[in-house]
Amino acid sequence: MKTLALTGGVGMGKSTAERLLRERGVPVVDTDVLARRVVEPGQPALEEIQRAFGPEVIGLDGQLRRDELARRVFADPRAREELGDITHPRIREMWRAQLAAWRAEGRPLAVVVIPLLFETGAEKEFDAVICVACSPQTQRQRLQARGWNAEQIRQRINAQWPTEKKMALADHVVWSEGGLDVLAEQLDRILTLAGSSR
C-alpha cells in the first residue's frame, strides 16, 4: 500500500483537499479528528492536560475548553511543546493503527492529513508528501473569515514551519488559489503518479 501524507500551513486548503480525496474513494485519516478524540473525557491525555495546565482548561461538563487551552499554548512555545508531548505520540499511534488496518484490507493507497508533519518528524513514515499551499494574503483572508483576530492569526502561523520550507521538502505541491476544479486536477495527477487503482 502506498502511503501519502497531506500537510500545509493553517488556512491553506487541507480540508478542501481532504474532501476531494474522499470523494475519489481514497481512504483518509485526519489527525485533527484524532486530536479531538484523544482529549475526550475519560482519556488519559485529558487527565495529563489537566495536571499540566490546571483545572481551568476543563469545562463543567468535563470537556476540554479548547479556547482556553489555545489561548495559553499559542502564546507560549514551551506550553505548546508540553501539549505536543502529551498528544502527538497518542495521535501517531492511532493513525499508524488505521494505516495497518487499511494495509490488511489490501487498500492500494491511503492518505494521512498531518498539519505538523515536518514539525513532528513524521514525514519519514510515508512514501510521499503532498503540501497544500496558497499565498500569504489568501491565507490571512481565510483565517479572518474564521473570525480570528490579527494576533490569533500571527500566533497560529508562527506555531508552524514557514510554508516555503514545507513546500521545499514535499514531493508534491498543490496550489489552492484557483477553483475546486483546479485543485482537483492537481490531486488527480498526484493520485495517478501514486498508482491509485480507484
Instruction: Enumerate residues 6+ apart whose C-beta is below 8 A from 51.
Output: none
- The whole-model pTM stands at 0.90
Confidence of residue 44 (pLDDT cuts 50, 70, 90): very high
Contact 95, 35 (CB under 8 A): no
For residue 198, the model assigns a pLDDT of: 43
Integer Cα distance of 167 and 55 in angstroms: 39
The SS3 assignment for 23 reads helix
Count the helices and strands in the chain (H runs, E runs).
Answer: 9, 5
What does the block give as the cell for 145?
Answer: 473569515
- Report the amino acid identity of residue 113: V
Instruction: Work out whether strand 128-133 and strand 109-113 pair parallel, antiparallel, or are unpaired.
Output: unpaired
Task: Parse the chain into domains and list their residue ranges.
Answer: 2-191
> How would you classify the pairing of strands 28-30 and 109-113?
parallel
Q: Which CATH architecture has domain 2-191?
A: 3-Layer(aba) Sandwich (3.40)
Give per-residue pLDDT as tens, 122-180.
999 999 999 999 999 999 999 999 999 998 899 889 888 999 999 999 999 999 998 89
